[in-house]
């Protein structure tokens, strides 16, 4: 039920060509922020306009799209973007990580390993990792050009001075192939190791800031740290209460007024898949009872 | 050691109608190592001006000033700085120091700048301060708050802390009591004995007679007043 | 004669190459002269004062030297390298390692949103320090050297007094052991008692670290205490230069005479 009033995937072909050029350049220079002429999209900034434009430029009619927000396929943002492309591109959609060819994500990398046949598109609010300490765009560009990245460590230094450890827990800065320092978008630092040496193409789109950057397959990505305060990919020290997984990234959910809480996988597809295979956590029930 | 030849000096006052005031012409003098020469002449005759020219504090308009082989009249600032550091000492009537620096460091500084170890420099400074009867409780304070006599003794200690081969003394015994005056005079005699060439201005006639080998009247060098 | 030769040897100035050499530096703002035909050199361990009234070109000169502005003509040679021919990357590396710049307003030279320790540590991290404990130790050491209490290390400079901010700026600049320091009115806007403390500190650091300093100020008392040599500027040109006390006590140029005679005696 494609809405034929729009071109395939909403954007006109010239715009998609412009985006693809930016994407190719971004892939050619891993971690470098390529400016592009961001278009007005039928959704507000902050709702993934950058990611949507990148996805639109990548989609082919036989692609299978998955959209996640904080790991979940069923949140408002994910549902509306998925519907958007169902209508404007008529592509198939899925909630299964393994079945998707294009995955647009906000704030997570799926738990299931990605493959060479997949593209992961990140929604990015603020692409400039140096912005925290240097407000001038002219200066941050110069700093990238000349690899003056001392400031990045000042941010981490401040963390340790204030909290005793590196308290940055998301949007944790990384260095790409020993060259560009990059903001991996607000993914939890638990996901940072998955950025590196990933078989899939990873594309980052910032709509309001009009920047696209990328990690080609198998790019080396290192999280910044100090010798005496090394990077740690932290997660809540629990097992998933639904599927019992002990290595996934967890959301904490308050379940009553008595301080009761549960920890569940933030990646809903990962959790569901495990439960279908019969894994049951502390508070989980067999899969059949859950289906409404 | 110090040799002045045919030295002349005039001041051009650009902001007072461009007046040119000649203050010195044909000045000649020689101070040999181990000798102390006193400058005499009435007030305004140019004793201080001559001393300042030798120290490089005033420029010269003609002639030569040789100190340890260097012509101060022609030398560039860097050479004069070096000369002052190692060869040519100066005890003026005024103490000019950075506020807050303790007296002991003020006195030790000339040695520190010559690269002497701090402990050695401070030990030598302490010896001199003690000899000049500056109470030890004052050593850790800045001399800016001291009385005139105390400041003068700090100044003298600073001027004698390094064994300069040449020394300029401007009223070294002024505002000192008899005891300290005697200490200063013996410091001068000791400097002479080790071979220092000393040029001084002493209004104190007794002091002048005791340490000076010769006197030079600078009125001789005062030029005819231009009309 | 042996003794005389010894003294002559003492008196001879050691031969050394200048650390910074400036030849015929010019910078114009349209038809107006910023600075013109400025030449001088400075050796290791020397302090050069530049005085002149507002608009005399002293700040223009300093910013050309420090690479904040590009001169229209002239040469700047630092330690044998042609500074103006350097790549920007090399020049910026120089200015965060071997050079330092102390701004008149500490807010221009500090990161106000970063703690005192982070401010001092930034230059270390910029040259590759990656050990938090060592960076912290160096920051502690430098705060002590500029007389800032150790327990203020995690406070932001916005919580500091003007004098403390200025001392912090100095610490931040000197932590990488620079050889050449540019100072633009470092004591401007400070109370007299605070100024004295800063002057004392600067003089000690200059002597202990063997720094070369180019200090721009309109305060003649400051240059008398700090500078070995003095350059007087007026309307973008150097009208007089020489030994500091000689220029101040026996000024030759009309403008210098006016400048010196205009100082209020205390």
Chain A residues 87-116 with CB within 8 Å of chain C: none
Q: Is B171 helix (H, G, I), strand (E, B) or coil?
A: coil
Q: Return the C-alpha torsion angle C240, C246, C252, C257, nearest 10.
A: 90
Cβ atoms of A92 and A63 within 8 Å: the answer is: yes
Instruction: Quickly tell me which residue has 């999280």 as its tokens.
Output: A223
Residue pair C260/C251 in contact (Cβ under 8 Å)? The answer is yes
Q: How confident is the model at residue C3 (pLDDT cuts 50, 70, 90)?
A: low
Contact C10 B87 (CB under 8 A): yes
C-beta atoms of C196 and B87 within 8 A = no
Contact A47, A21 (CB under 8 A): no
For residue C199, list chain B residues with Cβ-Cβ distance below 8 A.
Answer: 98-99
Nearest-Cα residue of chain B relative to residue C193: B99
Element at C58 (helix H, strand E): helix C58-65
Mean pLDDT for the stretch of residues C154-165: 94
Position with higher pLDDT, C112 vs C2: C112
- State whether A157 and C121 contact (CB < 8 Å): yes
Asked if C118 lies within 8 A of A161 by C-beta distance, the reply is yes
Per annotation, catalytic residue among A31, A48, A71, A281: A31
Q: Is C225 exposed, middle or buried (0-12, 13-18, 19+ CB in 10 A)?
A: buried
- A51, A207, A271, A284: the catalytic one is A271
Q: Judge whether C49 and C217 are in contact, CB under 8 Å.
A: yes
Q: Is residue B112 part of a domain?
A: yes
Residue C151 forms contact with A (CB below 8 Å): no
At A176-216, the pLDDT tens digits run 999 999 999 999 999 999 999 999 999 999 999 999 999 99
Question: Could you confirm whether A240 is annotated as catalytic?
Answer: yes
Cα→Cα distances B177→B103, B150, B172, B200, C214, Å: 20, 11, 12, 19, 43
> Taking 50 as the threshold, does the pLDDT of residue C129 lie above it?
yes
**B183 vs A46, B190, C104, C221, CA distance in Å?**
85, 10, 47, 33
Q: Report the pLDDT value the prediction gives residue A287, as an integer from 0 to 100.
A: 66
Instruction: Please judge whether A157 and C125 are an interchain contact, meaning their C-beta atoms are less than 8 angstroms apart.
Output: yes
A265 is a catalytic site residue = yes
Q: How far apart are the first and last CA of chain A?
A: 27
How close C4 gets to chain A, by Cα (Å)? 56
SS (H, E, C) A175-238: EECCCEEECCCCCEHHHHHHHCCCCCEEEEEECCCCEEEEECCCCCEEECCECCECCCCCCCCC
Residue C262: pLDDT band by 50, 70, 90 thresholds? Answer: confident
Contacts of B58 in chain C (CB under 8 A): 246, 249-250
> How far, in Å, CA of A79 to CA of A59, rounded?
17
Average pLDDT of span C244-252? 94
- Residue C125 CB partners (closer than 8 Å, separation 6+): A150, A151, A153, A154, A157, C135
Chain C residues touching residue A227 (CB < 8 angstroms): 130-132
Which of A153, A160, A181 best tests the C interface by mutation, with the highest count of C CBs <10 A? A153
**A260 included as an active-site residue:** no
Domain membership of residue B82 (yes or no) is yes
Q: Are strands A64-69 and A92-93 parallel, antiparallel or unpaired?
A: parallel
The answer to whether position B191 is within a domain reads: yes
pLDDT, mean of residues B81-103? 88
pLDDT tens column, A120-129: 999 999 999 9
Interface touch C92/A228, C-beta < 8 Å: no
Task: Write the CB contacts of B42 (distance below 8 Å, at least 6 apart in sequence).
Answer: B219
pLDDT reading at C7 higher than 70: no
What's residue C13's pLDDT? 62
Residue B115 included in any domain = yes
pLDDT (mean) for B163-170: 95
**pLDDT tens-digit profile of A155-165?**
999 999 999 99
Q: What is the band of C193 on the pLDDT scale with cuts at 50, 70, 90? A: confident
Distance of residue C11 Cα from the nearest chain B Cα, in angstroms? 5
Q: Please, how many CA atoms are within 13 Å of residue B204, restricted to the half-sphere of its CB?
A: 19
In this complex, do B98 and C225 lie within 8 Å of one another by their Cβ atoms? yes
Name the minimum distance, in Å, from the CA of C123 to any CA of chain A.
7
CATH number at residue B186: 3.40.50.300
Q: Does C197 touch chain B (CB under 8 A)?
A: yes
Residue B220 belongs to some domain of the structure: no
Is B132 in a helix, a strand, or coil? coil
Of A75, A130, A128, the residue nearest A104 (C-alpha): A75
Contact B195 C43 (CB under 8 A): no
* Structural domain span for residue B128: 32-45+76-215
How much is the pLDDT for B44? 84
Q: Are strands A211-215 and A201-206 parallel, antiparallel or unpaired?
A: antiparallel
Strands A174-176 and A221-223: what pairing? antiparallel
Chain B interface with C: residues with Cβ < 8 Å: 1, 11-15, 33, 52, 56-59, 67-70, 77-83, 86-87, 96-101, 112-113, 165, 195
Cβ atoms A81, A31 nearer than 8 A: no
Cβ of C74: how many Cβ atoms within 10 Å? 18
The two three-digit tokens of residue A277, written as one number: 């295979």
Stretch C123-129: mean pLDDT: 93
How far C45 CA lies from chain B's nearest CA (Å)? 11
| C116, C88 Cβ separation under 8 angstroms | no
Average per-residue pLDDT in chain C? 90
Task: Give A220→chain C minimum CA distance, Å.
Answer: 20
**CB distance from C228 to chain B under 8 Å?**
yes
Complete DSSP assignment for C209-250: HT-EEEEE-S-HHHHHHH-SEEEEEETTEEEEEEEHHHHHHS
Q: Which two tokens stand for residue C261?
A: 């005679």
Q: Would residue B183 count as lying in a domain?
A: yes
- pLDDT exceeds cutoff 70 at C235: yes
Tell me if residue B9 falls in helix, strand or coil.
strand
Inter-chain CB proximity C258 and B15 less than 8 Å: yes
pLDDT of residue A292: 40
Virtual torsion, Cα A187, A190, A195, A196, nearest 10 deg: 160
SS3 state of residue A135? coil
pLDDT of res. A79: 95
Chain A residues close to C111, C-beta within 8 Å: 133, 154
CB C7 within 8 A of CB B1: yes
CA distances from B215 to A215, B166, B210 (A): 89, 17, 12
Q: How near does any CA of chain C get to the CA of A149, in Å?
A: 7
Please give the structure tokens belonging to residue B2.
């110090």
Structural domains of chain A sorted by starting position, each given as residue range(s) with its CATH number in brackets: 13-223 (3.40.50.11310), 235-285 (2.30.170)
CA–CA distance, B200 with B173 (Å, rounded to integer): 11
Q: Are the beta carbons of B69 and C7 separated by less than 8 Å?
A: yes
Of C215, C223, C21, C189, the closest CA to residue C102 belongs to C215
Alpha-carbon span B13 to B19, nearest angstrom = 5
C159: contact with B, CB 8 A cutoff:
no
Average pLDDT over residues A141-153: 93
Q: Which residues of C touch A133 (CB under 8 A)?
A: 111, 113-114
When pLDDT is averaged across residues B86-96 and rounded to a whole number, the result is 88
The CA-based diameter of chain A, rounded to the nearest angstrom, is 59
Q: Do C11 and B70 touch (CB under 8 A)?
A: yes
In angstroms and rounded to an integer, the radius of gyration of the C-alpha atoms of chain B is 18
The whole-number pLDDT of residue B227 equals: 39
Q: Does the annotation count A31 as an active-site position?
A: yes
Q: Tell whether B62 is covered by a domain.
A: no
Which residues from chain A sit within 8 angstroms of residue C140, using beta carbons?
A: none
The number of folded domains in chain B is 1
Task: Kindly name the residue from A48, A50, A205, A240 that is annotated as catalytic.
Answer: A240
The average pLDDT across A104-117 equals 96
Nearest-Cα distance to chain C for A165, in Å, is 10
Active site residue A271: yes
Choose from B81, B116, B196 for mutation: most chain C CBs within 10 A.
Answer: B81
Q: What is each CA distance from A24 to A107, A204, C74, in whole angstroms?
A: 23, 12, 44
B and A touch per CB criterion (3+ pairs under 8 A): no
Q: Examine residue B146 and state whether it is found in any structural domain, yes or no.
A: yes
- Touching A: C residues 89-148, CB under 8 Å: 89, 92, 96, 111, 113-115, 117-118, 121-127, 129-133, 135-136
Residue A37, phi then psi, degrees to nearest 5:
-85, 85
B58 contacts C249? CB cut-off 8 A: yes
Q: CB distance A148–C92 less than 8 Å?
A: yes
User: For residue A41, which phi and psi values (nearest 5 degrees)?
Assistant: -115, 160
Are residues B99 and C196, on separate chains, in Cβ contact within 8 Å?
A: yes
CB nearest to C135's CB, from A133, A157, A162: A157
Strand order in the sheet with C99-102: C99-102, C180-184, C212-216, C47-51, C229-234, C237-243
Whose CA is closest to A279, among A244, A239, A248, A241?
A: A244
* Chain A residues with CB-CB distance to C126 below 8 A: 148, 150-151
> Are the Cβ atoms of C4 and B87 closer than 8 angstroms?
no
pLDDT band at C159 (very low <50, low <70, confident <90, very high): very high
Q: Characterize C106-121 residue by residue with b for buried, 16 or more Cβ atoms within 10 angstroms of its Cβ, and e for exposed.
A: beebbbeebbbbbbbb
At C31 the three-state DSSP class reads: coil
Which value, to the nearest 10 degrees, does the dihedral of the CA atoms of residues C8, C9, C11, C14 take? 150
d(CA B159, CA B107): 8
Asked if pLDDT for residue A291 goes beyond 80, the answer is no
| Closest CA of chain C from B88, distance in Å | 9
- Calculate the alpha carbon distances from C144 to A197, C114, C136, C175, C186 in Å: 45, 19, 12, 12, 19
């Amino acid at each position: 039920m494609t809405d034929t009033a729009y071109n395939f995937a909403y954007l006109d072909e010239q715009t998609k060509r412009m985006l693809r050029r930016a994407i190719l350049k971004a892939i050619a220079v891993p971690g470098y922020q390529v400016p592009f002429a961001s278009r007005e999209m039928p959704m507000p900034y902050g709702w993934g306009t950058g990611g949507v434009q990148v996805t639109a430029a990548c989609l082919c009619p036989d692609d299978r799209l998955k959209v996640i927000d904080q790991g979940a396929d069923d949140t408002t943002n994910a549902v509306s973007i998925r519907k958007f492309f169902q209508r404007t591109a008529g592509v198939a959609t899925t909630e299964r990580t393994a079945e998707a060819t294009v995955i647009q994500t906000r704030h997570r990398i799926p738990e299931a390993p990605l493959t060479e046949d997949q593209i992961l598109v990140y929604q990015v609010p603020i692409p400039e990792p140096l912005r925290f300490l240097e407000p001038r765009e002219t200066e941050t560009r110069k700093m990238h050009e000349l690899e003056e990245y001392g400031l990045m460590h000042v941010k981490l230094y401040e963390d340790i001075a204030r909290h005793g450890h590196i308290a940055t827990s998301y949007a944790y800065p990384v260095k790409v192939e020993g060259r560009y320092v990059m903001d991996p978008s607000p993914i939890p630092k638990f996901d940072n190791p998955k950025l590196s040496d990933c078989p899939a193409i990873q594309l980052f789109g910032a709509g309001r800031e009009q920047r696209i950057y990328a990690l080609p397959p198998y790019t080396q990505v290192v999280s910044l740290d100090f010798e005496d305060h090394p990077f740690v990919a932290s997660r809540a020290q629990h097992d998933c209460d639904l599927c019992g997984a002990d290595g996934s990234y967890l959301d904490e959910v308050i379940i009553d007024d008595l301080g009761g809480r549960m920890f569940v996988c933030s990646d809903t597809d990962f959790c569901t898949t495990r439960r279908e295979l019969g894994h049951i956590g502390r508070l989980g029930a067999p899969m059949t009872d859950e289906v409404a | 050691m110090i040799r002045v030849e045919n030295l002349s000096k005039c001041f051009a006052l650009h902001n007072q109608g461009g007046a040119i005031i000649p203050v010195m012409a044909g000045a000649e003098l020689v101070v040999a190592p181990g000798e102390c020469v006193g400058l005499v002449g009435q007030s305004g005759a140019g004793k201080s001006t001559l001393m300042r020219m030798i120290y490089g504090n005033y420029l010269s308009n003609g002639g030569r000033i040789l100190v340890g082989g260097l012509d101060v009249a022609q030398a560039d600032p860097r050479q004069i700085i070096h000369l002052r550091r190692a060869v040519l000492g100066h005890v003026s009537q005024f103490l000019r120091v950075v506020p807050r620096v303790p007296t002991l460091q003020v006195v030790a500084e000339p040695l520190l700048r010559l690269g002497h170890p701090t402990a050695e420099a401070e030990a030598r400074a302490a010896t001199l301060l003690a000899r000049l009867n500056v109470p030890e409780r004052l050593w850790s304070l800045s001399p800016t708050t001291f009385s005139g006599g105390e400041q003068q003794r700090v100044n003298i200690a600073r001027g004698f802390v390094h064994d300069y081969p040449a020394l300029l003394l401007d009223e070294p015994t002024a505002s000192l009591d008899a005891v300290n005056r005697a200490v200063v005079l013996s410091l001068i005699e000791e400097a002479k004995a080790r071979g220092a060439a000393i040029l001084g201005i002493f209004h104190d006639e007794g002091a002048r007679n005791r340490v000076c080998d010769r006197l030079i009247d600078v009125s001789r060098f005062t030029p005819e007043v231009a009309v | 004669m042996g003794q005389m030769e010894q003294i002559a040897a003492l008196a001879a100035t050691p031969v050394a190459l200048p650390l910074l050499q400036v030849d015929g530096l010019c910078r114009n703002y349209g038809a107006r002269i910023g600075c013109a035909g400025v030449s001088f050199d400075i050796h290791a361990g020397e302090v050069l004062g530049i005085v002149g009234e507002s608009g005399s070109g002293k700040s223009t000169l300093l910013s050309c030297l420090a690479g904040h502005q590009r001169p229209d003509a002239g040469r700047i040679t630092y330690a044998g390298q042609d500074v103006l021919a350097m790549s920007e990357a090399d020049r910026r590396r120089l200015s965060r390692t071997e050079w330092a710049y102390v701004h008149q307003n500490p807010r221009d030279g500090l990161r106000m949103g970063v703690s005192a320790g982070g401010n001092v540590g930034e230059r270390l991290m910029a040259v590759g320090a990656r050990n938090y404990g060592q960076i912290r130790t160096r920051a502690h050491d430098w705060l002590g050297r500029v007389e800032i209490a150790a327990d203020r290390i995690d406070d932001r400079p916005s919580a500091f007094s003007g004098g403390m901010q200025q001392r912090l700026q100095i610490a931040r600049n000197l932590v990488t052991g620079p050889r050449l320091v540019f100072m633009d009115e470092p004591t401007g806007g400070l109370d007299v008692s605070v100024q004295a403390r800063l002057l004392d500190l600067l003089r000690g650091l200059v002597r202990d670290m063997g720094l070369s300093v180019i200090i721009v100020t309109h305060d003649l008392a400051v240059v008398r205490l700090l500078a070995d040599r003095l350059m007087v500027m007026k309307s973008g040109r150097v009208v007089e230069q020489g030994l500091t006390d000689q220029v101040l006590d026996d000024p030759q140029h009309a403008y210098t005479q006016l400048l010196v005679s205009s100082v209020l005696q205390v």
